[in-house]
Each structure stands twice: as C-alpha cells, then as structure tokens.
Amino acid sequence: MHFTLTYSGQLPSSSNAKVKHEIRRKLHPQLKELWRTHPALAGCKNLVTRDSEEEEDSSDAAFLTAIQGNNFAPLVHPYYKLYAELDIFLLRPEAPGAVISKAGDIDNQLKTLFDALRRPTDQTEVPSSWSPTADEVPLYCLLEDDKLITKVSVETDRLLIQGANEKEVQLTIRVSVKGFTATWGNIGMIS
C-alpha cells in the first residue's frame, strides 16, 4: 500500500507532548480518509471499533489502544505484521543544506516527526487539556511504534514563500506499507 501524507506547520527540533500531539491531530483526517476509502481498509472497521469492553473475537478492536480514556488507531501495526518505509520531502524557509538553522537541526526535527507519526505510548504523551472532538474518536495515527519504520529517505529544499515563518515547514511524506510476512489479514495492505 502506497499513500501520501502532507503537513504544514511547525516542526521544532525540541518539542513536548503538546507539539507532537498537534502534528498527530493534523495528520488524523488524512489517515481517517485512507481507512474510509482504501479497499483493503474500508472493510476492516472492526479493527478500529470497540462495541464493548469485552470483545469476543481477537481481531475486533485489535488496532485500538486506549490512553487516558482516549482511543488511538494506528495503521502500521505488528498485529498484521506490518512495517513502513518513508520518503520525506521537507521544505523549509532557508537555503538547502542548512542542516543546523533557525528552525533547528534536521535530525531532531525528524525525531519530532517520528514521535508524532506514532500513537502515544502513555498518558504523558497526551496533553491533559486535550479532549477529542467527535471526529477524533478514535484518533488515527500512522504507526503503533516508530520502531516499525525500517527505511527513511529525506530530501530538503527551500520553501519559496515570501515572509514564511522561519519555524514552519511543509512536508510531503510518501508512505509504503509492507509486511514482514504475508497473512490473510494483511494481503491487501502490503506492497
């Protein structure tokens, strides 16, 4: 499965749970639309829905994780033996090759991005002030864990928008979902 995510906004080199969660929330609508429209995912609503607290079938709600009373639904999940490869195009309002800049160094910006692409690991990564909207139940994420990223390619270039905020970026993230092994459950999801 191949798809593209986009993001425009701040990508600081040092961040906290609130910043990462805001990036996660901005990516949520794109991932929700993918789950709604992709042929391999549209029929798998049971993976991200919990009818009751006591599920009888082991595949029901398999992709859901409740943290601080809120459900998160990552796509790339070990339940279906999936992993991801990312091809990232990063536009920043500075000259190409400025690895350390006003916006921050690129390796720490990528760490912030990877943390935002995965679901929170515990309640410290969910801002206590956040209350999900009806559209954010569950909140869709790309990854169960950023350890499921096995390959990354990054290209940077200059964001040519006059007066652009020096701390803002535009990202295009091409995602390839692959499987460690083919199973009946993941066959439509892997490329």
**Rounded Cα gap, residues 115 and 145, in angstroms:** 8
Cα–Cα–Cα angle for 44, 122, 35, rounded to 5 degrees: 20
For the CA atoms of 71, 73, 74, 78, the dihedral, rounded to the nearest 10 degrees, stands at: 90
Please state, in angstroms and as integers, the Cα–Cα distance from residue 19 to each residue in 51, 78, 103, 113, 115, following that order: 31, 26, 14, 10, 10
| Segment 52-79 mean pLDDT | 77
The answer to whether 108 and 14 have CB atoms below 8 angstroms apart is yes
- Name the average pLDDT for the chain: 86
| Segment 104-124 mean pLDDT | 91
pLDDT at 14 over 90: no
Q: What is the DSSP letter of 22?
A: H
pLDDT at 52 over 60: no
Category of 73 on φ-ψ map: left (φ > 0), alpha (ψ -120 to 50) or beta: beta
**Rounded Cα gap, residues 62 and 23, in angstroms:** 24
Instruction: Render pLDDT for 145-188 as a digit per residue (tens, 0 to 9).
Output: 999 999 999 998 888 887 777 788 999 999 999 988 766 666 66
Please state, in angstroms and as integers, the Cα–Cα distance from residue 76 to each residue in 24, 48, 117, 167, 173, following that order: 15, 12, 10, 29, 15
Instruction: Name the pLDDT band for 190 (thresholds 50, 70, 90).
Output: low
pLDDT at 81 over 50: yes
The answer to whether 98 and 124 have CB atoms below 8 angstroms apart is no
pLDDT at 106: 85
Instruction: Name the pLDDT band for 6 (thresholds 50, 70, 90).
Output: very high
Written as six digits, the tokens of 131 are 């209350």
Written as six digits, the tokens of 48 are 């991200």
**Rounded Cα gap, residues 169 and 152, in angstroms:** 18
Q: Where are the domains of the chain?
A: 2-49+58-179
pLDDT at 100: 47
pTM, entire model: 0.86
pLDDT at 42: 84
pLDDT at 74 over 90: yes
| Segment 82-86 mean pLDDT | 95
pLDDT at 80: 83
